[in-house]
Amino acid sequence: MVSNNVLAGLVAVVLVLSVVSIGSTMSLIGGTSSATGMAIGTAQVSVPAKVAISLPVNAIDFGNMDVNDANDTIDTSPAPFQVQNDGSVSVNITVGADDMWTGTGATNPSVYYKFACGAGEVACGSGSVTSLTNMPATGSPIKAIANLGHTNAADQVELDIGVTVPSDEPAGSKSSTVTFTASQA
């Protein structure tokens, strides 16, 4: 049987070895002050440029019009296109369209089919086309909207359309596809 004195001696030896072991470990990692100090790290992320637009209002219906009638969306009746920047950078937007009319001299660009950048959430950027201008053909688009921002409070403008029915336009339903193309500003 082991006496209480021997047990007490063994416990004392184990305690001494534990304290020496902890002290040695702390000195290997730079002393006790760095074990409880503050460490600083760095996190890094890279966000690529994203060019993306949408058309919350993507159709305009002028209804029935007679020869020589004119109408536009400037008065919001009908409502103009709404162009929204959904990307992460400011964008420039070009427009071009298929011919709407078949009358003499009415193919794009002509005085019978026009466009202009109009204020939406924000005013049109410097360099935008802000007065009604002849609509270019799809194959020859021009910059209509300049430097449209990407923050939610400033990422939407209107694109107004103006039409006049040519005097020799045959009866029937007329339509045109307008193509919007965005690039980083």
Question: What is the signed CA dihedral for 77, 120, 114, 52, rounded to 10 degrees?
Answer: -120
Q: What was the pLDDT predicted at 37?
A: 78
Q: What was the pLDDT predicted at 38?
A: 87
Residues contacting residue 120 through CB under 8 Å, at least 6 positions apart: 82, 83, 156, 157, 158
- Where do the domains of the chain lie? 4-35, 53-184
Q: What was the pLDDT predicted at 43?
A: 94
* Pair of tokens at residue 34: 């760095």
DSSP count for the chain of H helices, then E strands: 2, 9
Tell me how many degrees the CA angle 127-133-134 measures, rounded to the nearest 5: 130
List the pLDDT tens digit at each of the 185 positions of the chain. Answer: 656 665 555 555 555 555 555 655 555 555 445 556 788 999 999 989 999 999 999 999 999 999 999 999 999 999 999 999 999 999 999 999 999 999 899 999 999 999 999 988 889 999 999 999 999 999 999 999 999 999 998 999 999 999 999 999 999 999 999 999 999 99
Q: Distance between CA atoms of 96 and 86, rounded to whole angstroms? A: 21
DSSP string, 10-49: HHHHHHHHHHHHHHHHHHHTT-HHHHSS------------
Cβ atoms of residues 88 and 50 within 8 Å: yes
Whole-prediction pTM value?
A: 0.76
Tokens 């993306």 belong to 52
Q: What was the pLDDT predicted at 14?
A: 52
Sheet holding 178-184, edge to edge: 142-148, 91-97, 178-184
CATH 2.60.120 corresponds to the domain 53-184: yes
Q: What was the pLDDT predicted at 121?
A: 86
Residue ranges in 29-99 assigned as alpha helix (H): 32-35
